[in-house]
Chain A
């Protein structure tokens, strides 16, 4: 059993699907943020695998680096929003955060 590009891509697809299902079906805002992090990691894994097996040049790794930068920014801001919502509503349940619903 040798490992090639396809095994890495399949693993990324499985990981992305787990993250997607979790992000769509969970009610705890922090769990949803975690699932988004899992999806970003899956994408990074795909980019690095494409770099290693020659589909992308070294640019694949540069892109993965920028994805990490944006992920760090995203999680910091996302948690700040969850905090301020928790302060005003005493919950992180997304089903109860409907003040912008018309």
Chain B
């Protein structure tokens, strides 16, 4: 087993356990902490895939911003003592989930995938930057639209939760 395989299996076990904990643990605050652990595991998996920049962005955006925001929201809404109860749909939802997982796993195990791992640039940060900011086939307009969407979200969030005078 090479180093990538060891890292993959350790991170995958960590990820599945912490994702299950988010769904199963009754204490909402601890579920939030397990979600942060799951974000860290996904960042590690990105790095095993050679996507260093995405791993760093994952930690900055998900752990740094989204994780803190979710934990803050949990503490502000004071519903920790109510726990995270399931609704009436938990049985059909579990059956649907099992069916979906079975169908997806069956189809992905019965597909022959092309393996061109040797041709891809690793680490890919320079190639990613060149691809995003390429003047002919780049993604500059979507990037600007994304920035505009973030601005709109900030204004919308202020309008939604701001003090009503």
Contact present for A49 and B105 (CB under 8 Å): no
Kindly report which residue of chain B lies nearest to residue A53, judged by CB atoms.
B117
| With A28-B84, A61-B128, A68-B58: A41-B73 Cβ-Cβ less than 8 Å | no
Q: Which residues of B contact A75 (CB under 8 A)?
A: 66, 69-70
Secondary structure type dominating chain B contacts: helix
Secondary structure type dominating chain A contacts: helix
In the complex, the 6 A-B pairs of residues with the closest C-beta atoms, listed nearest first: A54-B116, A24-B93, A22-B23, A25-B90, A80-B157, A21-B97
Q: Show the binding face of B for A, using Cβ within 8 Å.
A: 1-2, 4-5, 8-9, 12, 15-16, 19-20, 22-23, 28, 31-32, 35, 38-39, 42, 45-46, 48-51, 53-54, 57-58, 61-62, 65-66, 69-70, 73-74, 76-77, 79, 82-87, 89-90, 93-94, 96-98, 100-101, 104-105, 108-109, 113-117, 119-122, 124, 127-128, 131-132, 139, 142, 146, 149-150, 153-154, 156-157, 160-161
